[in-house]
């Protein structure tokens, strides 16, 4: 009987593991890599920068953990932490969904912005969060990023933006589309101030974010294997009525076509950013 | 004449094949139009038309997305869906306008940027982003007019200006009501409801502070011409610094959110 019970528990565990996508890795002690299908011990993955130790697949990272990986301990000062949407087009059910998502994920919006240090160098940094409305850009994301850019201009700081986004926040209608213009105009000012902007593209970066600040870095880095594009693959398939080639719209494809500077593995990201920052010290950046 | 059109009626009106297109406005409002082709990088995108013309004797650069009125025309124009080279041609002509101190008039009429393999290979996202950045700092007046269907980033890519005007029966949206319904309502048959909730008509967008002016369609070419001339006159009075500051603030103020500790439903 006891053996039966153990069997039952085990089989439940296995089923649950089998149905758990790596991106939902907070459940249970085990996860399954959605790329190589290997069952992985969660702590191993976490220790490996949330990268599959078996195949190197870079799993989605929360903004909180990303900041921990990139910014020196205890130096991050968050800006506009409590900025919320006004539901600009009064879309039914939107505020309830914001509230429930926020409670479930303990995340307030699709981006965290702030100031901090990378190996002692001051930076302004924005980290988008795919766990909140797929990192979509509405007025809060647009405003926080624009505000960060303006702060960076004032303080003469280099700017780093980690992108992950499904595009514009549909529930905010044209107000969200206009955030593309707003953020890009701010990047134009930043550019004219002669400061360094490093854009880092992670899986996935698409739509209105690709078509605004994500593509406007002086230097554009990407994590390996990230989906990066303007139109989503499904939309393209439906339009052209054919299957897309293997590797289409992945980081390696973009590198090949000249749209990004470098592909950087997550475990090397902080050092890589530091090296680039160091090469710009003595320019117009204050550091 | 004054029958009330709902949002979906306006979508249908905005998409009508026989509704005036960019070339009709060019023909009826401007003189001496000289079309200029190509992005100098890859090709000439026929879904975007651009060139130099005069309006009331004033030289301007005119750029517009061009849909067809017939199937053949639509094949030629790719249904008004630009590839990256279209946006790059537009940018080249806008920079040229800046060099020669000509105001820029753009006509927006597109179902969106083309979602194709080539478009992605040649950097559709980068092309749109670049236009948004560059248009925000061009040192000449820019007037953008939505004449039919303004959809998504493909419309905005020639839509960053000092004045954004909409024809009374045009629409401007983040994606098509059909797409919106299928994503948010999980049912593409709810497109009529989506059209209404999305706030995409000229009247809605004027109320939201996203556009500056609605142009009535009773005497369409004449009204558009008068509106362009009136706005040009106003913009020409401003110094370049004020013009650019105003343009920045125009977009800067859209969607600022609200700072508070709790989310209230």
Return the domain boundaries, chain A. 60-281
Mutate to test the interface with A, among B83, B94, B111, B120 (most CBs of A within 10 A): B120
Q: A256 at the B interface (CB within 8 A)?
A: no
Q: Residue written as tokens 């248009």?
A: B135
Superfamily the domain A60-281 falls into: 2-enoyl-CoA Hydratase; Chain A, domain 1 (3.90.226.10)
Say yes or no to pLDDT of A285 above 80.
Answer: no
Calpha distance B61→B246 (Å, rounded) = 21
pLDDT class of A23 with cuts at 50, 70, 90: low
Say yes or no to pLDDT of A64 above 60.
Answer: yes
pLDDT reported for residue A185: 98
Q: A234 at the B interface (CB within 8 A)?
A: no
CB count within 10 Å of CB A35 equals 15
Q: A245 at the B interface (CB within 8 A)?
A: yes
Mutate to test the interface with B, among A93, A231, A249, A259 (most CBs of B within 10 A): A231
pLDDT reported for residue A18: 45
Calpha distance B193→A97 (Å, rounded) = 19
Question: What mean pLDDT is predicted for residues B118-125?
Answer: 97
CB count within 10 Å of CB A115 equals 19
Nearest to B129 among A172, A177, A216 (CB): A216
pLDDT reported for residue A17: 43
Q: Quick check: B232 and B58 in contact, CB under 8 A? A: yes
pLDDT reported for residue B3: 67
pLDDT reported for residue B261: 83
Distance from CA of A104 to the nearest CA of B (A): 13
Say yes or no to pLDDT of A154 above 60.
Answer: yes
Residue A221 φ/ψ, nearest 5 degrees: -110, 160
Q: B206 at the A interface (CB within 8 A)?
A: no
Q: B134 at the A interface (CB within 8 A)?
A: yes
pLDDT digits (tens, 9 = 90+) for B227-244: 999 999 999 999 999 999
Distance from CA of A89 to the nearest CA of B (A): 7
pLDDT digits (tens, 9 = 90+) for B83-113: 999 999 999 999 999 999 999 999 999 999 9
Task: Tell if the CB–CB gap between B128 and A177 is shorter than 8 Å.
Answer: no
Question: What mean pLDDT is predicted for residues B110-117?
Answer: 97
Smallest CA–CA distance from B244 into chain A, residue: A185
pLDDT reported for residue A281: 87
The two structure tokens encoding residue B58: 């004033």
pLDDT digits (tens, 9 = 90+) for A69-112: 999 999 999 999 999 999 999 999 999 999 999 999 999 999 99
Spell out which residues of chain A touch residue B125, defining contact as CB-CB under 8 Å.
210-211, 214-215, 229-230
pLDDT digits (tens, 9 = 90+) for B139-165: 999 999 999 999 999 999 999 999 999
Q: Is A231 left (phi over 0), alpha (psi -120 to 50) or beta?
A: beta
Host H or E run for residue B146: strand B142-151
- If DSSP codes are grouped into helix, strand and coil, which group holds residue B228? helix
Question: What mean pLDDT is predicted for residues B19-32?
Answer: 98
**Comparison of pLDDT for A242 and A191, the residue scoring more:** A191
Distance from CA of B121 to the nearest CA of A (A): 6
Spell out which residues of chain A touch residue B251, defining contact as CB-CB under 8 Å.
178, 181-182, 185
Distance from CA of A46 to the nearest CA of B (A): 31
CB count within 10 Å of CB A117 equals 16
Q: A104 at the B interface (CB within 8 A)?
A: no
Say yes or no to pLDDT of A14 above 70.
Answer: no
Smallest CA–CA distance from A251 into chain B, residue: B121
Q: A208 at the B interface (CB within 8 A)?
A: yes
Biggest distance spanned by C-alpha atoms of chain B? 59
Nearest to A184 among B136, B173, B255 (CB): B136
Q: Which residues contact A136 (CB under 8 A, 6 or more apart)?
A: A110, A165, A166, A167, A168, A169, A170, A176
pLDDT digits (tens, 9 = 90+) for A161-197: 999 999 999 999 999 999 999 999 999 999 999 999 9
Q: A50 at the B interface (CB within 8 A)?
A: no
pLDDT digits (tens, 9 = 90+) for A199-236: 999 999 999 999 999 999 999 999 999 999 999 999 99
Calpha distance A203→A235 (Å, rounded) = 18
pLDDT class of A11 with cuts at 50, 70, 90: very low
Smallest CA–CA distance from A137 into chain B, residue: B255
């Amino acid at each position: 009987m006891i053996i039966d019970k153990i069997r039952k528990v085990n089989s439940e565990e296995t089923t649950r593991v089998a149905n758990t996508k790596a991106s939902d890795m907070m459940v249970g002690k085990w996860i399954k890599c959605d790329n190589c299908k290997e069952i992985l011990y969660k702590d191993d993955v976490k220790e490996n920068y949330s990268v599959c130790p078996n195949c190197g697949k870079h799993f989605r990272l929360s903004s909180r953990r990303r900041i921990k990986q990139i910014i020196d301990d205890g130096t991050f000062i968050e800006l506009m932490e409590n900025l919320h949407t006004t539901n600009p087009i009064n879309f039914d059910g939107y505020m309830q969904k914001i509230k429930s998502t926020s409670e479930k994920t303990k995340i307030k919006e699709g981006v965290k912005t702030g100031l901090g240090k990378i190996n002692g160098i001051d930076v302004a940094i924005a980290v988008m969060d795919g766990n909140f409305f797929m990192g979509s850009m509405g007025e809060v994301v647009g405003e926080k990023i624009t505000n960060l850019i303006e702060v960076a201009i004032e303080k003469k700081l280099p700017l780093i933006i980690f992108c992950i986004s499904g595009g514009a926040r549909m529930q905010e209608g044209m107000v969200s589309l206009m955030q593309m213009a707003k953020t890009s105009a701010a990047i134009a000012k930043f550019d004219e101030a002669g400061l360094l902007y490093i854009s880092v593209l992670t899986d996935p970066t698409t739509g209105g974010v690709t078509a605004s600040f994500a593509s406007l870095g002086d230097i554009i880095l990407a994590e390996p294997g990230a989906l990066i594009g303007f139109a989503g693959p499904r939309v393209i398939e439906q339009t052209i009525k054919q299957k897309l080639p293997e590797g289409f719209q992945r980081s390696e494809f973009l590198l090949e076509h000249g749209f990004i500077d470098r592909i950087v593995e997550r475990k090397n990201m902080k050092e890589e950013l530091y090296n680039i920052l160091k090469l710009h010290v003595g320019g117009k950046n204050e550091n | 004449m004054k029958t009330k059109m709902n949002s979906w009626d306006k979508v249908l009106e905005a998409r009508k094949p026989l509704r005036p297109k960019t070339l009709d406005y060019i023909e009826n409002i401007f003189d001496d139009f000289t079309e200029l082709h190509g992005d100098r990088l890859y090709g000439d995108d026929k879904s975007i038309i651009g060139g130099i013309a005069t309006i009331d004797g004033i030289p301007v650069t005119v750029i517009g997305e061009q849909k067809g009125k017939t199937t053949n025309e639509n094949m030629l124009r790719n249904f008004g869906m630009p590839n990256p080279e279209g946006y790059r041609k537009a940018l080249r002509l806008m920079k040229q306008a800046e060099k020669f101190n000509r105001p820029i008039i753009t006509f927006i009429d597109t179902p969106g940027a083309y979602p194709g393999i080539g478009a992605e290979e040649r950097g559709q996202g980068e092309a749109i982003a670049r236009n948004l950045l560059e248009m925000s700092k061009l040192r000449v007046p820019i007037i953008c007019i939505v004449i039919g269907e303004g959809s998504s980033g493909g419309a905005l890519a020639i839509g960053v200006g000092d004045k954004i005007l909409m024809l009374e029966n045009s629409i401007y949206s983040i994606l098509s009501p059909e797409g919106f319904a299928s994503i948010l309502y999980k049912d593409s048959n709810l497109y009529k409801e989506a059209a209404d909730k999305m706030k995409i008509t000229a009247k809605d967008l004027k109320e939201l502070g996203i556009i500056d002016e609605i142009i009535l369609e009773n005497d369409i070419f004449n009204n558009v011409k008068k509106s362009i001339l009136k706005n040009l006159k106003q913009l020409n009075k401003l110094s370049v610094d004020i013009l650019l500051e105003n343009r920045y603030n125009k977009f800067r103020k859209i969607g600022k959110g609200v700072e508070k500790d709790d989310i209230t439903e």
